[in-house]
């Protein structure tokens, strides 16, 4: 078994959708292929997503698994500085939360990436 790892962009293996409710943004992450869903479950923990957004959110992150949809849904508490009518944030309604989520880079064991036919970053020339 290989001990080396490769970089995989979330952008290449999932798509996302986000929205808002008050001071909370939500972001759905949907695997582009069903066989990639277990990798998302393993790698996209609530703590990893919280660390990715850092100081952009002031609250906790909750994660919900939706295996029948090959998706995860994240609730980002304190993400919108009070929400659409109260916030001075550029994106007070959480529309670009999903775009930011897609910037996550995953470290995947090389043999697993090959077995799952994952697109590796940067792509081999």
pLDDT tens by residue, the chain, 125 residues: 557 999 999 999 999 998 888 788 999 999 999 999 999 999 999 999 999 999 989 999 999 999 999 999 999 998 887 655 544 444 545 668 899 999 999 999 999 999 999 999 987 54
The residues near 21 (Cβ < 8 Å, ≥ 6 apart) are none
What pTM value is reported for the model?
0.86
Q: Which two tokens stand for residue 36?
A: 């990639």
Do the Cβ atoms of 12 and 91 come closer than 8 Å?
no
- Hunting for tokens 């995989």 — which residue is that? 8
Do the Cβ atoms of 23 and 82 come closer than 8 Å?
yes
| Rounded distance between C-alpha atoms, residue 107 and residue 121, angstroms | 10
| Rounded distance between C-alpha atoms, residue 97 and residue 17, angstroms | 8
């Amino acid at each position: 078994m290989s001990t080396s790892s490769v970089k995989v962009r979330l952008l290449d293996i999932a798509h996302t959708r986000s929205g808002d409710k008050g001071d909370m943004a939500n972001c759905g992450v949907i695997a582009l292929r069903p066989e990639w869903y277990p990798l998302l479950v393993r790698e996209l923990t609530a703590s990893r997503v919280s660390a990715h957004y850092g100081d952009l959110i002031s609250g906790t992150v909750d994660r919900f698994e939706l295996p029948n949809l090959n998706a995860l849904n994240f609730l980002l508490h304190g993400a919108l500085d009070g929400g659409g009518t109260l916030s001075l944030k550029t994106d007070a309604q959480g529309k670009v939360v999903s775009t930011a989520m897609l910037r996550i880079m995953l470290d995947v064991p090389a043999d697993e990436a090959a077995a799952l036919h994952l697109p590796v970053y940067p792509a081999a020339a």
